[in-house]
Amino acid sequence: MNSAANAIIDVKNLVSHYGDRQILKNVDFSVQPGEVRVIMGGSGSGKSTLLNHLLALLKPTSGTIEVDGVDVVNADRKTLAKLRQKTGVAFQGGALFSSMTVGENIKLPLQQHTDLDDHTIDIMTRLKLELMNLAGFEDLMPSELSGGMLKRAGLARAVIMDPKLLFFDEPSAGLDPVTSVELDELILKLKAAMNMTVVVVTHELESAFKIADKITVLFDGEVAITGTVDEIKNSTDERIQNLINRRPRNDVIDAEQYLQRLTTGKN
Amino acid sequence: MTYQQTTHLKYQQLHLTGEVDLHNSPIVRKQLLNILNEGSSVLVDFSALSYIDSSGIATLVEAFNLAKTKALTLTIVGATGGPLQVLELTNLNKVFTLIESLEGIKE
């Protein structure tokens, strides 16, 4: 039995393009149930593209993507809709509807997908607001919240249905250090109490090291390494060490290619 | 999830087995509200409960509050593992009455 046998996410040989530009090159990515997996990498490494593929928002050029047993590349709309009910997504900016109050935003998935009583829905919404330290903000509009609050409100909405699988795009981006530590704690609590599998895309090292069971590092669309926090820290790969020690990339310049890019705009 | 309702001294006991989730928490809600509306205090037996989601927790909050307004009690018996962790995560272990077993229950 290989390690991917019971995986809740199993990606094999994923190749992805935006137009002619290749973004992901033969990415293998497998996550076990109950795991917190962090996807790391610099800007343009392909981490957001990988996330969008896991959410079935993009079609790959080739390769297979299975999420909770569903082949998301070929699944029909009904199957995808069912999968999405078991999946929570917290987007970078919160992605709340600006014309609805915070409370209305958070309860929306319950109203759309369940037959629960309004009392139950209201209490569930307030439970999640409490959990995110947003008690009392139910009736405010998203425009009245700070960046950190918006992010927490987005997380509240993402977990309102108690998803099996939570995707979180850049939880710490743009947050003050205290708020970002609180969010990390919250992710760990959700994992422990709800048995959630969590996939976090981030470039914040400190956060990654704190929450991850395993980290996958992407470089230029390829998986450079997948390993535990210690394995990442002890990696001898120069690119990984550069990332950990925040050293700027020192790319070798191919003079010919560089000149071609400047003169023709093509690689 | 399956449930069994029995009488224990002056209490109605609701014994929950398996997983309480979005699909079956309305059944739990109906049972709990019925018991309370009929004027009985209730013991919710968690000892065979492996999972409870937030719709189940919200149901307990509503029922606990109803019990309070009727001067009745709602007591959770034998919560362990995941269900206990969810109660702790939501700080409801500090609101609800939790007991380990029926031994301490008196008339």
Q: What is the pLDDT of residues B66-87, one digit of tens each?
A: 999 999 999 999 999 989 988 9
* Interchain proximity A128–B54, CB inside 8 Å: yes
* Interchain proximity A193–B88, CB inside 8 Å: yes
pLDDT at A256: 83
Contacts of A134 (CB under 8 A, 6+ apart): A102, A149, A152, A153, A156
pLDDT at A205: 85
Rounded (10°) angle between helices A177-194 and A147-158: 10
* Interchain proximity B58–A115, CB inside 8 Å: no
Q: Which residues of A touch B30 (CB under 8 A)?
A: none
3-state secondary structure of A194: helix
Q: Which ranges of chain A have pLDDT less than 70? A: 1-5, 93-94, 247-251, 267
Q: Are A115 and A101 in contact (CB under 8 A)?
A: no
Mutate to test the interface with A, among B22, B51, B95 (most CBs of A within 10 A): B22
Name the minimum distance, in Å, from the CA of A157 to any CA of chain B.
Answer: 13
pLDDT at A1: 41
Q: Which residues of B touch A123 (CB under 8 A)?
A: 58, 61-62
Mutate to test the interface with A, among B19, B29, B36, B54 (most CBs of A within 10 A): B54
**In the predicted model, what is the mean pLDDT of chain B?**
93
pLDDT at A249: 64
Q: Is B91 on the interface with A (CB under 8 A)?
A: yes
Q: Are B60 and B67 in contact (CB under 8 A)?
A: no
pLDDT at A5: 67
Name the minimum distance, in Å, from the CA of A79 to any CA of chain B.
Answer: 18
pLDDT at A2: 46
Q: Which ranges of chain B have pLDDT less than 70? A: 106-107
pLDDT at A4: 53
Say how far apart CA A99 and CA A96 lie, in whole Å.
9
pLDDT at A251: 66
pTM exceeding the 0.95 threshold for the entire prediction: no
Q: Which residues of A touch B29 (CB under 8 A)?
A: 117, 120
Q: Is B48 on the interface with A (CB under 8 A)?
A: no
